[in-house]
């Protein structure tokens, strides 16, 4: 698919609405912004004639996207393109209604007592029999994988374990690498076995799969979740040094760190902390020289990072949840720190940027590029749970840290759960991810670097 055609398919009425979700809006001093803020239809003019048309060159010169957007903005009545948080028929209307009628004490009690986890997990489990009936081949694969799972504990808590799966008939020396997967669940729910089918496309490519269980809210906040992820990583490195340790450099794919939804946030925050500790330890030991590290195959703690539909800026995602009326029911606020300062600290891209600003000028130029893995951030363009703008903003901040290997992939007509379900049942998203992983040794990529 050509770039122009792909970009055009990303811009739909729904994705346009989501792009305006709090705290986002059209760029200031653009014709688009002027039309949206001016409710007088007579003031509409063609984009090329508008006096603000050249105010934001990157925005207006993105030709394929610009033309499609202007078709929506200028050739349709804006009253027929409702904002997603103001639309009468929006599902957010129901959550806002519940948030307004349920006493705050009830909402917080349901969240803090573990009720949110029970309800969320039960909804998934109750839907499994229906899924098995509608997709019997997937049910058979699930049963086969369940019989092959090896459970490995890394702590005393019932949630501190790893589900391990290996390709059948493939010796360890012939494996292409290992996937280290962190499940989602809004920081307060989720079970490893829910995501077992996610292993299928990786096992087919001779990649071993480790799905990490960890403590979720109210049993653990974001610090506990990142710590559990680190303990699981250490356990894997100890038990499988040829897949996770220094000798993995000979593997075609190597060690992949991947997470979905809140799991993508936890995984990226864990990666940032791992890189921070590595840098500080090497600086303290006097080993942090550019020439030495550029030739050091052990510098990167993982080889590839894949984030699926992640809420990377906690402050912005809190605003989005507040607009949906679920901010007091969601585990986000207690799990990630209650205050705007804590929200920023627990936003991985901002944490990395703040850390790099503390490194002396003479040592920071190449550090991010040395330690940070090749990265792909994936998002469904019609994601109503975590807007795609979360990925575009995180990618922009990470690139500003000096990381050139950040790529983005936006899936047309794809929602939040669709991204991970496609790994389980088939779809274009896993094809794109596996294609990207297959190009690990190539500097070229077929994916689009977004200008959103």
Q: Which pLDDT score, from 0 to 100, does residue 209 have?
A: 97
pLDDT of residue 155: 96
Distance of CA 414 to the CA centre of its chain: 14
pLDDT of residue 452: 44
Whole-number pLDDT of residue 271: 96
Tokens 């609405």 correspond to what residue? 17
pLDDT at 298: 57
What is the reported pLDDT for 61?
46
Are 247 and 241 in contact by the 8 Å Cβ rule? The answer is yes
Note the pLDDT of residue 247.
Answer: 77
- The Cα–Cα gap between 126 and 138 comes to 16
Tokens read off for 254:
């190597």
Look at the pTM and tell me if it is higher than 0.85.
no
Ranges under pLDDT 50 in the chain: 1-4, 26-28, 39-63, 78-89, 288-297, 365, 442-452
Tokens of 191: 């079970």
Torsion 13-18-22-24 (CA) sign: negative
- Which tens digits make up the pLDDT trace of 283-318? 666 654 444 443 444 568 899 999 999 999 999 999
pLDDT for res 45: 42
C-alpha–C-alpha distance, residues 452 and 21, integer Å = 14
**Separation between Cα atoms, residue 100 and residue 267, nearest integer Å:** 33
CATH numbers and ranges of domains, the chain: 3-85 (no CATH), 115-438 (3.40.50.1820)
Separation of CA 232 from chain center: 20
């Amino acid at each position: 698919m050509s770039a122009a055609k792909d970009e055009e398919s990303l811009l739909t009425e729904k994705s346009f609405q989501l792009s305006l979700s709090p705290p986002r809006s059209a760029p200031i001093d653009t014709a688009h912004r002027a039309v949206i803020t001016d409710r007088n239809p007579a003031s509409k003019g063609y984009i090329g004639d508008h006096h603000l048309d050249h105010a934001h060159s990157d925005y207006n010169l993105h030709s394929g996207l610009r033309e499609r957007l202007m078709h929506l903005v200028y050739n349709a009545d804006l009253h027929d393109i409702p904002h997603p948080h103001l639309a009468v028929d929006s599902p957010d209307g129901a959550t806002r209604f519940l948030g307004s009628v349920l006493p705050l004490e009830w909402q917080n009690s349901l969240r803090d007592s573990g009720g949110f986890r029970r309800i969320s997990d039960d909804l998934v489990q109750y839907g499994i029999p229906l899924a098995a009936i509608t997709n019997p081949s997937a049910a058979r694969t699930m049963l086969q994988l369940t019989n092959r799972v090896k459970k490995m504990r890394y702590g005393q808590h019932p949630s501190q374990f790893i589900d391990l799966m290996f390709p059948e008939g493939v010796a360890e020396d012939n494996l292409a690498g290992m996937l280290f997967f962190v499940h989602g669940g809004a920081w307060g729910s989720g079970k490893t076995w829910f995501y077992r089918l996610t292993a299928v496309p990786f096992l087919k490519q001779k990649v071993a799969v480790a799905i990490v269980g960890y403590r979720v809210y109210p049993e653990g906040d974001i610090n506990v979740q990142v710590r559990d992820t680190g303990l699981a990583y250490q356990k894997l490195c100890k038990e499988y040094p040829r897949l996770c340790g220094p000798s993995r450099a000979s593997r075609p794919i190597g060690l992949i760190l991947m997470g979905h939804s809140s799991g993508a946030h936890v995984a990226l925050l864990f990666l940032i902390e791992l890189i921070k500790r590595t840098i500080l330890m090497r600086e303290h030991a006097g080993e942090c020289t550019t020439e030495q590290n550029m030739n050091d195959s052990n510098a990167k703690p993982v080889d590839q990072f894949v984030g699926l539909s992640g809420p990377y800026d906690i402050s912005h995602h809190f605003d989005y949840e507040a607009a949906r009326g679920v901010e007091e029911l969601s585990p986000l606020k207690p799990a990630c720190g209650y205050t705007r300062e804590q929200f920023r600290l627990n936003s991985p891209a901002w944490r990395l940027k703040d850390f790099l600003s503390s490194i002396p000028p003479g040592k920071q130029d190449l550090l991010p590029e040395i330690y940070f893995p090749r990265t792909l951030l994936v998002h469904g363009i019609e994601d109503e749970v975590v807007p795609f703008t979360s990925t575009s903003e995180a990618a922009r901040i990470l690139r500003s840290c000096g990381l050139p290997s950040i790529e983005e992939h936006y899936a047309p007509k794809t929602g939040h759960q669709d991204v991970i379900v496609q790994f389980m049942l088939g779809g274009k998203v896993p094809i794109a991810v596996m294609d990207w992983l297959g190009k690990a040794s190539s500097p070229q990529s077929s994916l689009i670097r977004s200008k959103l």
